[in-house]
């Protein structure tokens, strides 16, 4: 998602003299993609962003893939993980990954970051399951609240400041740009009339951060499984103005308008974002199918070339015991899954659903991490042997 945005002061023309009160030039910085052919923004700093005072030793920061995991459906129960670490980076626990994407939970105990962070090689989508606060970046302040997707393009230096109360985050790290679905955009880039959300739902930074001089400022840069420690003698939030198409933004799951039909609609109608080899979908309250002989429960299906991950956010999932908020279900490609016995008949006549969930479908196999193994429900692969109308797997009421 990109549209033109600007904040602060800058000259009328690009790449011309723009001077501070003392007569010195502001330091111009182009932040761009695809070798000057993609999205970009032009920033004006009080200090050259290249002025590093020192570089510390890199810190290992890579998840470990679990070995010997059976090819099977998996259920990860994370609701009891109310605190996963102290600060924002130590609290990030990766659950699964491949060469395109990494999926993590993050429930920090600290309210503010005393350092700055940027991902040097991946865009990040931070879904706010619980909590609120403000994202601070070079582009300014962006308030967020429960239910928001916060899209942070790679290399954007930022901090999270959380308000009091629980914080529960789902973080999707993408090694290709995060975009809105192409079928919902015209060739100018505008979202079309049939898109389930539009530009009015997008929230961009709205106020620059007041610059304070002095002191040492640490920027931790995530790249190649390490956190690189860069120190500056000034705040990286010393931007007095910027304009362009490259910046963080927020979109609420509560502003996603569902697409429904007379018969069961497939998961692509719920798509919210896309990247190379994976998509992110939003399941929200909606009316069920309205054909007189419709079956609201989905058919059994095999995603022969993709893995399916569902993260449960809120609502009554009509599920068997054990699938609750903050649970993941993971269904690998090629293994059929669908409603439990009795749930197809039980769904007939149902009019609506009130669930919220985030789904991530990948087109390369996902690998569970050692952190994830300790959260696995080992009985889940055999749960389709259970009988009765209350055994519906929540994912299959969404798919």
CATH number at residue 288: 2.60.120.10
Query: For the whole model, what pTM was predicted?
Result: 0.94
Residue 134 belongs to a domain:
yes
**Residues 244, 266 share a domain:** no
pLDDT score at 317: 64
Catalytic hit among 15, 75, 217, 264: 264
DSSP string spanning 7-74? EE---SSTTS--B-TTSPBPEEEEEESTTTTS-EEEEEESS-TT-EEEE---EE----B-SS--SS-E
The domain boundary, picked from 237, 253, 269, lies at: 253
From 57-61, 74-78, 178-182, 212-216, the region with the lowest mean pLDDT: 212-216
Residue 53 belongs to a domain:
yes
The arithmetic mean of pLDDT across residues 112-126, rounded, is 97
The helix (run of H) or strand (run of E) holding residue 117 is: strand 116-119
The arithmetic mean of pLDDT across residues 1-19, rounded, is 93
pLDDT score at 363: 96
Q: Give the rounded percent of residues in the chain with a pLDDT score beyond 70.
A: 94
- pLDDT grade, residue 43 (50/70/90)? very high
Q: Give the rounded percent of residues in the chain with a pLDDT score beyond 90.
A: 78
**Residues 320, 224 share a domain:** no
Helix, strand, coil percentages for the chain (3-state, nearest 5):
10, 40, 55
For the chain, the average pLDDT equals: 92
Paired with 77 in beta bridges are 327
**Residues 369, 331 share a domain:** yes
pLDDT score at 347: 84
pLDDT score at 303: 83
pLDDT digits 0-9 by tens, 344-387:
888 888 888 889 999 999 999 999 999 999 999 998 888 888 65
The domain boundary, picked from 231, 253, 275, lies at: 253
Which tops the pLDDT comparison, 218 or 297?
Answer: 218
**Residues 351, 210 share a domain:** no
Domain containing residue 156:
5-64+83-253
Is residue 87 within 8 A of residue 59, CB to CB? The reply is: no
**Residues 337, 248 share a domain:** no
Any catalytic annotation for residue 340?
no
Total structural domains in the chain? Answer: 2
Copy the structure tokens of residue 261: 């039909």
The domain boundary, picked from 229, 253, 277, lies at: 253
**Residues 234, 183 share a domain:** yes
- pLDDT grade, residue 2 (50/70/90)? confident
Residue 333 CA, chain-centre distance (Å), reads: 22
Residue 387 belongs to a domain:
no
Answer yes or no: is 87 a known binding residue: no
**Residues 291, 184 share a domain:** no
**Residues 179, 192 share a domain:** yes
pLDDT digits 0-9 by tens, 143-170:
999 999 999 999 999 999 999 999 999 9
Residue 201 belongs to a domain:
yes
pLDDT digits 0-9 by tens, 293-337:
998 888 888 888 999 999 999 987 644 445 789 999 999 998 988
**Residues 146, 22 share a domain:** yes
From 86-95, 109-118, 388-397, the region with the lowest mean pLDDT: 388-397
**Residues 107, 228 share a domain:** yes
pLDDT score at 345: 85
Residue 375 belongs to a domain:
yes
**Residues 41, 116 share a domain:** yes
- pLDDT grade, residue 399 (50/70/90)? low
pLDDT digits 0-9 by tens, 250-270:
999 999 999 999 998 888 999
Residue 394 belongs to a domain:
no
Residue 89 phi/psi, 5-degree rounding, is: -80, -40
Residue 36 belongs to a domain:
yes
Residue 71 belongs to a domain:
no
Answer yes or no: is 337 a known binding residue: yes
**Residues 269, 248 share a domain:** no
Which tops the pLDDT comparison, 214 or 218?
Answer: 218
Neighbouring CB atoms inside 10 A of 102's CB total 22
pLDDT score at 319: 41
């Amino acid at each position: 998602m990109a549209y033109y945005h600007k904040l602060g002061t800058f000259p009328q023309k690009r790449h011309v003299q723009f001077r501070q009160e003392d007569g010195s030039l502001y330091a111009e910085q182009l932040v761009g993609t695809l070798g000057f052919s993609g999205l970009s923004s032009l920033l004006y700093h009080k200090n050259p962003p290249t002025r590093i005072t020192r570089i510390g030793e890199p810190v290992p920061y890579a998840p470990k893939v679990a070995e010997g995991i059976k090819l099977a459906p998996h259920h990860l129960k994370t609701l009891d993980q109310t605190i996963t670490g102290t600060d924002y980076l130590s609290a990030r626990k990766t659950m699964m990954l491949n060469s395109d994407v990494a999926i993590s939970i993050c429930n920090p105990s600290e309210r503010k970051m005393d350092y700055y962070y940027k991902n040097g090689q991946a865009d990040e989508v931070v879904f706010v399951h619980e909590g609120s606060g403000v994202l601070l970046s070079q582009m300014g302040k962006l308030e967020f609240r429960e239910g928001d997707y916060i899209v942070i393009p790679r290399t954007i230096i930022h901090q999270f400041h959380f308000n009091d109360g629980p914080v529960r985050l789902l973080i999707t790290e993408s090694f290709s740009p995060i975009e809105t679905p192409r079928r919902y955009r015209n060739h100018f880039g505008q979202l079309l009339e049939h898109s389930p959300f539009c530009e009015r739902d997008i929230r961009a930074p709205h106020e620059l951060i007041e610059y304070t001089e002095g002191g040492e400022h640490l920027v931790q840069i995530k790249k190649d499984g390490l956190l690189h420690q860069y120190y500056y003698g000034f705040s990286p939030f010393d931007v007095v103005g910027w304009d362009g198409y490259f910046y963080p933004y927020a979109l609420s799951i509560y502003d996603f308008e569902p697409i429904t039909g007379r018969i069961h609609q497939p998961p692509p109608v719920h798509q919210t974002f896309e990247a190379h080899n994976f998509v992110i979908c939003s399941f929200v309250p909606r009316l069920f199918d309205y054909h007189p002989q419709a079956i609201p429960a989905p058919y059994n299906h095999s995603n022969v070339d993709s893995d399916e991950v569902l993260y449960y956010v809120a609502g009554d999932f009509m599920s068997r015991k054990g699938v609750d908020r903050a649970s993941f279900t993971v269904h690998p490609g090629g293994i059929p899954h669908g409603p439990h016995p009795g749930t197809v008949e039980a769904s007939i006549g149902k009019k609506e659903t009130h669930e919220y969930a985030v789904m991530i479908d990948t087109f390369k196999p996902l690998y569970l991490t050692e952190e994830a193994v300790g959260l696995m429900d080992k009985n889940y692969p055999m749960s389709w042997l259970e009988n009765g109308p209350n055994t519906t797997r929540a994912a299959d009421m969404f798919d």
